[in-house]
Amino acid sequence: MKIVVLLKEVPDTYGERTLNLETGLAERAGADNVVDEIGERALEVALSYADANEGTEVTVLSMAPETATANVRKGLAMGAASATHIVDEALVGADLGLTAEVLAAALKAEGFDLVIAGNQSTDGSAGMLPTMLAEHLDVPNLTNLTSVTIAADGVSGSRASDDATVQAKTALPAVISITEALPDARFPNFKGIMAAKKKPLEVKSLADLGVDANDMTPSRTIMISIAERPARAAGVKITDEGDAAQQLAAFLTQNRLV
């Protein structure tokens, strides 16, 4: 079985994160960029299955700036056998549509039985990529799984909603996305870090994948404006002189909060 795990590089959530108000993109240059934790959990799901099932091949796939090599290699140090890093200047500012098209082209080229993604990244936070990918690949999609069971002929898992827990199952090939309910990922150990230096890491461009980022026919998103969030204004302070309840009620009514 071949499992491909989607790893995204993101600005560290513990650091200062800022948007460039001219481009509308996250400031990545000065940020401490890391592998998104949810992607590491997705990799843990794949590696745990591989540990128990000989003959399983786990690879990682990332579309990220050129500077992300060390983070892609971290996937190899954790235990993936190989990695594909999609790098192209034309991908700066790529929207969900283009990202899905590019990752789908890479997955079609390398082949897969199962694709495991995070349910939502910590920077873009769209939560849509795995489903868009499944649509491109024309395979079933189980989203937001809180538990995962992989078998030779299919994948199943639980999906929690407000009212119920759904058990879902599908045949392979498939795309799934997992939530933070899945276990923490393993740390790369020294042996893994050394081994990662010799593992294959293939860098692909848009030309390699046959995708044209400037082709607007597949409906790309265009950012038309961006504005800084206004500074917080001071709140209204109500002093109780026997009429606090009336003042509160009047405030809530005026602001259409009741």
Ligand X SMILES: Cc1cc2nc3c(=O)[nH]c(=O)nc-3n(C[C@H](O)[C@H](O)[C@H](O)COP(=O)(O)OP(=O)(O)OC[C@H]3O[C@@H](n4cnc5c(N)ncnc54)[C@H](O)[C@@H]3O)c2cc1C
Which residue, 7 or 47, is less far from ligand X as judged by CB? 7
Size of the site for ligand X (CB under 6 A): 32
Q: Is 105 in the site for ligand X (CB under 6 A)?
A: no
In the complex, minimum distance from the CB of residue 258 to ligand X, in angstroms, rounded to a whole number: 35
Q: Is 94 in the site for ligand X (CB under 6 A)?
A: yes
Token readout for 211 is 């995708």
Which residue, 126 or 171, is less far from ligand X as judged by CB? 126
From candidates 3, 8, 43, 201, binder to ligand X by CB under 6 A: 8
In the complex, minimum distance from the CB of residue 243 to ligand X, in angstroms, rounded to a whole number: 48
Taking contact as CB under 6 A, which single stretch among the options 71-79, 90-98, 149-157, 202-210 is the one that binds ligand X?
90-98
From candidates 79, 118, 157, 173, binder to ligand X by CB under 6 A: 118
In the complex, minimum distance from the CB of residue 67 to ligand X, in angstroms, rounded to a whole number: 9
83: nearest Cα among 194, 199, 211: 199
- 102 DSSP assignment: H
Q: Is 120 in the site for ligand X (CB under 6 A)?
A: yes
145: nearest Cα among 232, 64, 38: 38
d(CA 83, CA 213): 22
d(CA 195, CA 79): 9
Token readout for 108 is 């079609």
Q: Is 109 in the site for ligand X (CB under 6 A)?
A: no
Torsion, CA 163, CA 169, CA 170, CA 175, rounded to 10: 60
116: nearest Cα among 84, 76, 151, 144: 144
From candidates 33, 35, 36, 136, binder to ligand X by CB under 6 A: 36
Q: Is 35 in the site for ligand X (CB under 6 A)?
A: no
From candidates 33, 59, 71, 99, binder to ligand X by CB under 6 A: 99
Q: If you search the block for the tokens 């606090």, which residue do you land on?
A: 244
Q: Is 130 in contact with 119 (CB distance < 8 Å)?
A: yes
Helices and strands (H and E) in the chain: how many: 7, 12
Per CB under 6 A, contacts with ligand X among 45-74 are 62-65
Q: Is 223 in the site for ligand X (CB under 6 A)?
A: no
In the complex, minimum distance from the CB of residue 11 to ligand X, in angstroms, rounded to a whole number: 8
Q: Is 211 in the site for ligand X (CB under 6 A)?
A: no
d(CA 127, CA 96): 10
Token readout for 36 is 């998104």
Residues that bind ligand X (CB under 6 A): 6-8, 25-26, 28, 36, 38-39, 42, 62-65, 91-92, 94-96, 99, 117-118, 120-121, 123-130
